[in-house]
Amino acid sequence: MFSLKVRRGLLLLPLALLAGCNTVVLNPSGDIAVQQGNLIVISTLLMLLIIVPVIALTLLFAWRYRKNNTAAKYEPDWDHSTRLELIIWGAPLLIIIVLGLLTWISTHTLDPYRPLSRIDANRPIPASHKPMIVEVVALDWKWLFIYPEQGIASVNELYAPVDRPIRFKITASSVMNSFFIPALAGQIYAMPGMETQLNAVINKPGVYKGFSANYSGAGFSGMRFKFHGVNDADFDKWVESARAGGGALNRDDYLSLAQPSERDPVRRYSAVPSDLYKAILNRTIVSDALCVTPVEPYKLAVANSPVAAVTAVVASDAVVEKGVQAK
């Protein structure tokens, strides 16, 4: 019906459709994302060890025992084969054991809260090497990045030096969100009143896409930013440009910034109060708001007596409840 060239073209059509795909998840530029990509590939190959033979045997049996194949051996009373039982149950069991071992190891080694032990597969991190801190706040519908060590902040723009470990401290202003830079590491949630952490490192210079991977309202689709991996000199230049060209970000400015808006342009701030992120995290950005963090004296009471411990828990819950009501 069709010529040989046409049939071959039809077989290659799915590959042509995949030609425009961006495989950044399987070809990332950060060591954590590389390890996660390898885990996906290894897990897929292990599962294919069962799936491919099953598909092949299904087609083989359908062809071999077709109706007009009189040469096929017919055994209507066959009911058991120890060899087949060992293969059918043993192979999946071994694969499940290997997958379980990989899951257990990767759960610990790729824990986002765990400090990095290496820059890449060939370079460990020296014990004296400290990570750069970046405080991330998911707003409606934009991203605020605070650099406490540099004393600056930016909106919808993230810079980091290549081969320098980064520790992200992540929270949100109003609703649950998700912080995701596919080339750097896996996604991690951002939640109001809570802090999540992500340790990662970028190994190649470039400009990478970052976005929210969790629907958070009308402006969700525009909640994107660019992550710039640069050398140390270019990072220092960017810090100096932020200090020279931006205004200060105080609490009143933050309250204005936190108002819902869509597709905000890049903004930079030359100065940020050292306690701004903590106030956002504890939801005490308004000066007269009650802090929901447990009061320090109760910690001492808990350490001294069981009775005081019960009292501390009740009092702490009361502070939290009162703070929520005040909102």
Instruction: Mark whether 320 and 183 lie in a shared domain.
Output: no
Mean per-residue pLDDT of the chain: 84
Burial of 44 (0-12, 13-18, 19+ CB in 10 A): exposed
pLDDT of residue 20: 55
How would you label 201-214 residue by residue, b for 16+ Cβ within 10 Å and e otherwise? bbbeeeebebbbbb
Question: 296-304 and 306-326 helices cross at what angle (nearest 10)?
Answer: 160
pLDDT of residue 178: 95
Upper half-sphere CA count for residue 94 (Cβ side, 13 Å): 9
Domain membership flag for residue 191: yes
The number of distinct structural domains making up the chain is 3
**pLDDT tens for each residue of 71-117:** 888 887 888 889 889 988 998 999 999 999 999 999 999 999 999 99
| Structural domain of 102 | 21-69+82-109
pLDDT of residue 296: 42
C-alpha span between 314 and 327 (Å, rounded): 20
Instruction: Mark whether 51 and 154 lie in a shared domain.
Output: no
Instruction: Mark whether 126 and 274 lie in a shared domain.
Output: yes
Instruction: Mark whether 267 and 154 lie in a shared domain.
Output: yes
Report yes or no: 156 and 262 within 8 Å, Cβ to Cβ.
no
Instruction: Mark whether 94 and 176 lie in a shared domain.
Output: no
CATH code of the domain covering residue 276? 2.60.40.420
Residue-level length of the chain:
327
Report yes or no: 289 and 317 within 8 Å, Cβ to Cβ.
no
Domain membership flag for residue 44: yes
Which residue from 208, 133, 188, 123 is spatially nearest to 165, judged by alpha carbons? 133
Q: C-alpha 292: how far from its chain's center?
A: 27
In this structure, which amino acid lies at residue 277?
Answer: Y
Domain membership flag for residue 77: no
Domain membership flag for residue 289: no
Taking residues 289-312, report their average pLDDT. 45
Give 27's pLDDT tier (boundaries 50, 70, 90): confident
**pLDDT tens for each residue of 125-173:** 988 889 999 999 999 999 999 999 999 999 999 999 999 999 999 999 9
Instruction: Mark whether 151 and 276 lie in a shared domain.
Output: yes
Give 17's pLDDT tier (boundaries 50, 70, 90): low
